[in-house]
Amino acid sequence: MKEYYDAIIVGTGAAGLYCALNLPERKKVLMITKKEADQSDSFLAQGGICMLRGEEDYEDYFEDTMRAGHYENDKRAVDLMIRSSNTIIRDLLNRGVTFARNEEGELEFTREGAHSKPRILFYEDITGKQITQTLLDRARERDNIEICEYMTMVDLIAEDNVCQGVIVMDEKDQVYPVYAPYVVWACGGLGGLYHNSTNFPHITGDALGIALKHGIAVEHLDYIQIHPTTLYSKKPGRRFLISESVRGEGALLYDKNGQRFTEELQPRDLLSQAIYKQMEKDGTDFVWEDMRPLGEKTIMEHFPNIYERCLEEGFDPRKEPIPVVPAQHYFMGGIQVDLGSRTSMKGLYACGETSCNGVHGKNRLASNSLLESMVFARRTADDIIFGTRPDHARIQTPDMKQYENREEILSGYHHMVRNEIKKMGVRI
């Protein structure tokens, strides 16, 4: 790791990797991540990635996204995402990403909750891993992209509301200032602050705390999505998600008596509310999801990863329902950005789950996250390439002594984030 780069990207998920790959090879790019490069939530995405299926699908896709977001979405951002989808998919295919195809070799689509029709591309039930691992492979092939694992961002270097770089700490608690005219936050959500979450535990909203410290604009910190169906377990740690696609393909939800109690393809927030209500009524810690209507062929070919995880918990989804419970899943709020992914601090960008560009409104539509991440990651790269370079003040060397205690620094950021969210009446 050097001291100066053309751009620093915090995070190695889909957004960060796609931003790096869309920057010219003449630019020296540093990517840092708190753990290993493949331990981002993008790798965990199961269901798929949305794609506009012709002009006749535009109004329906737009309405589905707006309805799921309770019409609090930014219409311009939604339009930009939908209109960009085909270009993004073509580029992913060109980079080596694989999606399911039918017998004629054409791309195959599935449907998920709150979608009016099938428009979701997928690869088995590990679409996020297929996309993000491919992008990671392409990034590792580029000489201009340096990826540093086990490197934690503990602060920004900023002067007069102009970002000049980041303060990073390695696993031995050594602290380094790293400078660049452009910094991109693509470091995920805040699931690690929750007891029950589908996120990796180290994804803890650090950028939000740093933003609050520096007075960078944030937005809708109370917009936290609960996924209605995660595999119930008494084991500690991350909750395993039972994809929206399972219900999209026909799985049913039962109460403790084996009776359906709600419409399975509602938006996530409404379905989660229905499940919580039924659990309270039944006095149970979960409800049952029945995958048997899908048939064994679909379960084994489309959802092999889910099948294996269910077996590990002692359930065979081919023969019996599985226990599911809602858990924290996605963060629709975040660092406030415009359509170019610019934050309120010059030279600082945010994309992916870290950011709030208004696409998702109050509740994200299933499988819009991977698409949104990459659309606005490319907007970030475009603005770095073609936008106006910020006027940098004289670089000040920060006092490194203030960053000696990692746990104290990070817990301070987490405390700030929790307090802001609690002020809005949300439990965390």
Catalytic residues: 268
Closest residue by Cα to residue 125 from 307, 286, 273: 307
The sheet with strand 252-254 has its strands ordered as 224-231, 322-331, 287-290, 252-254
Closest residue by Cα to residue 334 from 160, 212, 199, 181: 212
Angle, nearest 10°, between helix axes 58-68 and 75-94?
A: 120
Is residue 261 within 8 Å of residue 228, measured between CB atoms? no
Angle, nearest 10°, between helix axes 75-94 and 369-386?
A: 90
Closest residue by Cα to residue 184 from 416, 368, 393, 20: 20
Distances (CA, A) of 91 to 18, 55, 86, 352, 405: 10, 20, 9, 18, 43
Distances (CA, A) of 145 to 28, 349, 392: 6, 18, 23
Cβ atoms within 10 Å of 402's Cβ, excluding its own: 12
How far apart are alpha carbons 418 and 420 in whole angstroms?
6
Matching residue, tokens 């990073």: 168
End-to-end CA distance of the chain: 36
Amino acid, single-letter form, for residue 77: A
Closest residue by Cα to residue 355 from 206, 188, 154: 188
